[in-house]
A and B are shown apart, each in its own frame.
Chain A
Amino acid sequence: MYVHIPFCAARCPYCDFATAPATTRLRARYLAALAAEIGREGAALGRPRARTLFVGGGTPSLLEPDEVDALAAALRGAFAFRPLEATVEANPATLDRARLGAWKRLGITRLSLGAQSLSAEGLQALGRTHQPGDVAPAVAAARSLGLAVAIDLIFGWPGQTAELWAADLAAAQALAPDHLSCYPLELETEREEADANWPGGGWPVVARWRARAAAAVPDEDAVASLYEQAERTLRRGGFRHYEIANWARPRRRSRHNLAYWRNDEWIGLGAGAHSHLGGFRSRNPAALTAYLARAEAGLGRLAAERVDEAVDGAILALRLDEGLALDRHAARFGRVAADRARRGLRSLDGTGLVRWSGETARLTPRGRLLATEVFLRLLPD
């Protein structure tokens, strides 16, 4: 189960997720509508058990303890709530003991820290408001409550060198996280739906920031080198590179995210959340007013158009180091779909992007960097 809390203390200019200002007057209405949606969906599905929970954002960690308690009550009321893994995303600067305590009461087992960088240069280049020194206390607080810790890093920001990236990787490893995500900076140039949540002409400023950043980021080759650097460094540090942008210590992979990549089923609740249930993909609007209009009217999610489950399944599977097992793919989606995937992947023979062991295809390190080339071969003509 995924629950979305869009609120943020400040808008990070590179971020294109469904976000909204923490001070919005829609906050209480949103949380009420979210609770109602949780209740309604839980009832409609017959109060199922959620094996994993991921509370993402936005910045869920800035919710007040009473808001967290209300969310917990809604979740327990609507679902058989005994998760194997429950993660909440946190901004290192907005985490305090009282809030963390509330999340702990909700049943959180894992804290995902949006550090992005552990250097002043990086945080400044990314327009982040927290300080490098905020991360270690946040990790310590999580550890003191027995929580697993995941850290997110971004690389390829304007001015980043191999040395600065080495420093970030070393500092992150020094915090001994269970899980690390390293995303190359991707700057969306189209105005996101959630921009409507930010009052006062936010978009031109964001667009200008992104244009300037895009002009200043290291070139593609350099970013590829940074990626390879992360791969080398983290492998030596005992991390398993189990997904294109994710590394974990043994048995510390994100169960929740694995569900996405294994094309399992989940429900996403709240603005901008995506769901995959019964072979259908659907989503909620990312703009708060649009979300509220639907949720308060008791309307369901928006169905995704043109879904090809077999193609989606193959693409997602290849993101993981487990790879795409064609026999299992055939069992799930049929022989035709598996043959099509095989033909597509075999057309890459000789390029060194895909490695085969029996009926299982996996991306090579080069294949991860050129994953788009691989995925394109899986799309129907």
Chain B
Amino acid sequence: MAVQSRIRNFSVIAHVDHGKTTLSDRILEVTGTVAKREMREQLLDSMDLERERGITIKARAVRMAWTARDGLLYELNLIDTPGHVDFNYEVSRSLAACEGALLLVDASQGIEAQTLANAYLAVEQGLEVVPVINKIDLPSIDLEVVRQDLYTTLGFTEEETLLASGKTGVGVAEILHAIVERVPPPHGDPAAPLRALIFDSHYDVYKGVVAHIRVMDGSLASGDRILLLATAKESDLAELGVFAPDAVRRDRLEAGEVGYAATGLKAVADCRVGDTLTLATRPAALPLPGYRPAKPMVFAGFYPTESEDYPLLKDALEKLRLNDASLVYEPETSQALGFGFRCGFLGLLHLEIVQERLEREYDVTLIATSPSVEYRVIVHGGREIALDNPAELPDPGTIEEIREPWMKVMIITPTTYVGPLMDLAQNKRGTLKDMTYVDPTRAMLTYEMPLGEVIVDFYDQLKSRSQGYASLDYELTEYRAADLVRLDILVAGTIVDALSIIIHRERTMSAGRVLTAKLRTLIPKQMFDVRIQAAVGNKVIASETVKAKRKDVIAKCYGGDITRKKKLLEKQKEGKKRMKMVGQVEIPQEAFLAVLRIKEDM
């Protein structure tokens, strides 16, 4: 067990694809933590999905030993951070567990928006940041431009900046030396009551909830009765240990150390990231700063494709939630899609990951409705209602004001694409707050923009308009009043709940037209004319008609072959069963989905 002066805790800040995982693997190898032949590619990413997507979802910590230039043996803890904007809070907690951070920048790409945001976060939290230009083995790179990026954005000089290649291993030892020499050691109070920061937790089928912790003050021993300050849960500690990189049991963890604690709790929701773990017998007076309960930002309805799969979906969500405290959901019924769940996510990527895991790991095929945000509606009398489902919007006559979440959006882009991206941001109701140059070729744009606009297609558009070069970071700033209305779709005079959307008043005309026109092509002809209308309140703003079908007959019934005709009829009948009856009109499920998706075209 090392004294605090011989411990260094650090994380790696990098953009997706900038080589964080490869470099981390190389560090494990150089420190002898993992023998080269045992290296699986991307060791730190333990979920299959992570390996496939090349991003890190769950933070993990690995303990390593390193002999520094002073000849002494140091204990290094590498704390991995999630690499996506949705997991900003998790990143901030991982950083809070460290005294230093490597800032990894791809030599061929330069600094990206999200990296910069995280680097600012690290600096704000008082971390010693060690800049590293990675992938220097790549041909035709301009180190000067990347150095200038680091200088203009964060003030790093050429002397401070290290050069490395995770691929070839060049510069890796130098990085480790720099960590020992530049990153300060932890300085917790070993005698104070225990305060350990939970920077990650996961559910293990054998051990229950396992918390990844950094002991800030005091110490912890196996068998201790623990208390979580935010959730006020108490439990007997089942096991204590470190990852090196496999789990190694330990009897104690002391101030400054990083490790894991099998808490004996049953749900990760009881063991939140950012919470303070202390001893029930001698609790700390104050929690560690910075805890924030997981707050979903993006919402969507999940419905099983086959309604009989509802219990399967319910079960899968329950299991998934064991391991994902930031996933929230509640049952929801849609006139159009039947029984399902309204789910809340940290962001769009989180949504996609959950959807993919449900389908892949739990074998549920589902329909996800178009994502929405949480609106705050002030009704007469001042009462505030939070809602994310347009169907829940109260009578417009009772509404004083509707507020929507606004984001601060930071974009870094090659200057060539500034024009198109400004157009895009403008279309998304963005207000330009600031524009600076990180180097002569790249600009940084800061916008304020409604989240409702960001989640619909903004990221894809950003990428396509910049040919993939622009990068994005955003964070919630505030709720602002907006001129929002509910746009209803009426089919044959009946409002179809699943098709209602909350939208800015200026957009209602074009949205109404797009939606009704699209629906006209999607609703099959019925036995009578079907009117499709878009309306705000009682005012119809767009209208289309699906003309009645005139012919649907199998005329040839020849040689008495009725069996084949019957098969066709039965097939058609099955098709009808999958349609939803809205009044007298049969609407295929595909119509709902396509309409939910075309929000992107408006």
Which A residues form the contact surface with B (CB < 8 A)? 2, 4, 17, 56, 183-184, 186, 220-221, 223-224, 227, 244-245, 259-261, 266, 268, 272-276, 281, 283, 304, 307, 311-312, 315-316, 319, 351, 353, 368-373, 375-376, 379
Contacts and interface: CB of A to CB of B under 8 A. Distances in A.
A304 B563 contact: yes
B559 to A, nearest CB: 6
29 contacts: A2-B559, A2-B560, A17-B558, A17-B559, A186-B554, A221-B547, A221-B550, A223-B551, A224-B551, A227-B551, A244-B553, A244-B555, A245-B557, A260-B557, A260-B559, A260-B560, A274-B559, A274-B560, A276-B560, A281-B562, A307-B563, A312-B566, A316-B557, A351-B528, A370-B549, A370-B552, A372-B569, A373-B527, A379-B569
The 3 A-B pairs with the shortest beta carbon distances in the complex, nearest first, are A224-B550, A224-B551, A260-B560
Contact of A316 (B547, B549, B562, B563): B562
A370 B555 contact: no
Interface in B547-583: 547, 549-563, 566, 569-570, 572-573, 576
B552 A373 contact: yes
A223 B550 CA distance: 9
A371 B552 contact: yes
B554 A369 contact: no
Given A260-B559, A276-B560, 9 more contacts: A17-B559, A186-B555, A186-B556, A220-B549, A221-B551, A260-B560, A315-B569, A370-B553, A372-B553
Contacts of B549: 220, 370
Contacts of A17: 558-559
Contacts of B563: 274, 281, 283, 304, 307
Interface residues of B, number: 24
A319 B552 contact: no
Nearest to A4: B559
Contact of B551 (A220, A259, A312): A220
B570 A369 contact: no
A281 B527 CA distance: 32
B554 A371 contact: yes
Contacts of B562: 260, 274, 281, 312, 315-316
A273 B550 contact: no
Contact of B570 (A307, A370, A379): A379
A183 B528 CA distance: 25
Contacts of B566: 311-312, 315
Contacts of A368: 553
Nearest to A372: B552
Task: Provide the main secondary structure of the chain A interface.
Answer: mixed
Contacts of A273: 559
Contacts of A304: 563
Given A353-B527, A372-B569, A268 B558 contact: no
Nearest to A363: B553
Given A221-B550, A312-B566, A351 B527 contact: yes
Contacts of A307: 563
B564 to A, nearest CB: 9
Contacts of A369: 550-553
Nearest to B570: A379
B574 to A, nearest CB: 10
Contacts of B559: 2, 4, 17, 56, 260, 268, 272-274
A183 B552 contact: no
B551 A370 contact: yes
Contacts of A312: 562, 566
Nearest to B556: A183
A220 B550 contact: yes
A371 B553 contact: yes
Contacts of A316: 557, 562
Contact of A376 (B547, B551, B557, B573): B573
A195 to B, nearest CB: 15
Nearest to B527: A351
Given A260-B560, A312-B562, A312-B566, A372 B554 contact: yes
B527 A245 contact: no
Nearest to B551: A224
A379 B573 contact: yes
A244 B553 CA distance: 9
A379 B551 CA distance: 19
A184 B551 CA distance: 11
Interface in B273-314: none
